[in-house]
Amino acid sequence: MNRSLIDSLPPPDGAGNFEEVRRLAAAGRKAVVLDDDPTGTQTVHGLDVLADWSVGALAAALADPRPCFYVLTNTRSLAAADAAALTGAIAANLSAAGRASGVDFSVISRGDSTLRGHFAEELGALEMGLCAPIDAKIVIPAFFEGGRYTIGDIHYVAQGDDLVPAAETEFARDRVFGYSHSDLPAWIEEKTGGAVPAGSVASVDIATLRGRDAAAAVRSRLLALPRGAFMVVNAAAYADLEAFTRGLLGAESSGRRYLVRSAASFVRVRAGLEARPPLTGPEISGPGAAGGLVVVGSYVGKTTSQLESLLGLPGVAAIELAVGRFAAPASGANETRRVAEAARNEMAAGRHAVVFTSRGQTSAIGAAGDLAAGRIVSGALAAVVRGLPVRPRFLIAKGGITSSDIAVHGLGMKRALVLGQAAPGVPVWEMGPETRFPGMRLVVWPGNVGGPDALRDLVRKA
């Protein structure tokens, strides 16, 4: 990576910050993460993910002694109004669960590190549904494992050896969540339709986070914010997030309440969790002679290059799901049965079945990236998994929405345990006893994470 921008920054000085964060987090409010797709568990381990947001399930999770839990909303697959309605309903249930359990909590709205998602709608719905005054909203999209950095209020995405402003990447051209600004205050103005002018957005710069008494400076800035303000957090290393979080928890201990919209790196710090090395092959795979299953729904360029590399691996069988056949129910059902049967045969023979959607950008059901088309495709992939009579040795789902639908609708998940990561930014979940294959490990692989050979390397390891 061309590190000239990062190397120009003052050196981090995070001595003691993480230990203090852990102390403050243990003594303060419990963190609840509403995740708009399942890839937000990219940095954590030992925490639960709930697909059941009933008051009872949320109250039980709040009462659990662990510092944090996730609620899988999958709202990135929904239209804006539907995403807001669901988020508001979960927030209302969470408020009721807090009263029932007597446990206070703070909420993190986990969104995409490449700035896609229903940012304004979800924060607005959370504020209304929680029925509690929110002092400020904080935006922290840095995700170091995936090469996302915020410097000088500009959000960057690492591409090869370069740091590219986010608005110049393919993610900014998303058909649903596209945007035109890499400068986060301007992006907030854009995403709120001008309701929040860029000039009103506060920020914490890296020089402050790496200076003397950084946590105290952060706490003072947070306490001085006018009610309802937005703040952007710059970060280029975990030490920056640790300094900020220490100040944030200090402000919360004074009674203030904040809503955070962040990528995955902040969550690990806020929960006070140490980093762990990637899981080994035996920790990802199960026993038996059956082959593994890889399901690829993501259509972004990074995923396609990873798929091409994987299909060159010996012992791998390519099974293409023809997206256009789902324009009619009968032909779609036939295609689902065909693909499930092919996958069963390959796995029974000890080969790894790779089920992937046709790579064309347009088909009879619409364009890649359209929410309606995405739901059809993701539902078909979940149906393939649901119809499998053979338990795969391992299961890798490529793409956030794909992973969510496979977990919830394909396997019947209501609660999963995050074991850790298979590779940087790639979480592994253990399925609960209620699922189709209890105890099976599901690798949740985001579409926009990993190098060209990363998927191939993991299948070889597993």
pLDDT tens-digit profile of 374-404?
A: 778 888 899 999 988 889 999 999 988 889 9
* Residue 223, pLDDT above cutoff 90: yes
Per-residue confidence (pLDDT) for residue 370, from 0 to 100: 67
Per-residue confidence (pLDDT) for residue 369, from 0 to 100: 59
Supply φ then ψ for residue 334, to 5 degrees.
-65, -40
Per-residue confidence (pLDDT) for residue 368, from 0 to 100: 58
Distances (CA, A) of 183 to 5, 9, 124: 16, 18, 21
Q: Tokens 């504020």 correspond to what residue?
A: 127
Average pLDDT rounded to a whole number, residues 274-280: 94
Least Cα distance to 226 among 197, 200, 192 occurs for 200
Neighbours of 81 (CB within 10 A): 11
**Average pLDDT over the chain, rounded to an integer:** 92
Max distance between CA atoms of the chain, in angstroms, equals 66
Is 3.30.70.920 the CATH number for 281-461?
no
Model confidence over 169-199: pLDDT tens digits?
999 999 899 999 999 999 999 999 999 999 9
Average pLDDT rounded to a whole number, residues 305-329: 91
Q: Note whether 320 and 360 are within 8 A (CB).
A: no
**Could you tell me where in the chain the CATH 3.40.980.20 domains are found?**
281-461
Q: Note whether 305 and 453 are within 8 A (CB).
A: no
* Residue 407, pLDDT above cutoff 80: yes
- DSSP state for residue 211 in the 8-state scheme: S
Q: Note whether 239 and 17 are within 8 A (CB).
A: yes
Within 13 Å, how many C-alpha atoms sit on residue 281's CB side? 9
**Could you tell me where in the chain the CATH 3.40.50.10840 domains are found?**
4-270
Q: Tokens 């986010």 correspond to what residue?
A: 166
pTM here? 0.91
Higher pLDDT, 447 or 75: 75
* Residue 360, pLDDT above cutoff 70: no
Q: Note whether 75 and 87 are within 8 A (CB).
A: yes
Percent of the chain beyond pLDDT 90? 78
Angle CA 419–422–424, to nearest 5: 110
User: 91: which 2 tokens?
Assistant: 């927030």
pLDDT band of 15, cuts 50, 70, 90: confident
User: 170: which 2 tokens?
Assistant: 């393919």
Least Cα distance to 14 among 213, 179, 264 occurs for 213
Per-residue confidence (pLDDT) for residue 450, from 0 to 100: 85
Q: Note whether 292 and 459 are within 8 A (CB).
A: yes
Assigned fold of 4-270:
Rossmann fold (3.40.50)
User: 408: which 2 tokens?
Assistant: 């919830």
Tell me the sheet residues that pair with 423: 426
* Residue 427, pLDDT above cutoff 90: yes
- DSSP state for residue 10 in the 8-state scheme: P
> Residue type for 134, please?
I
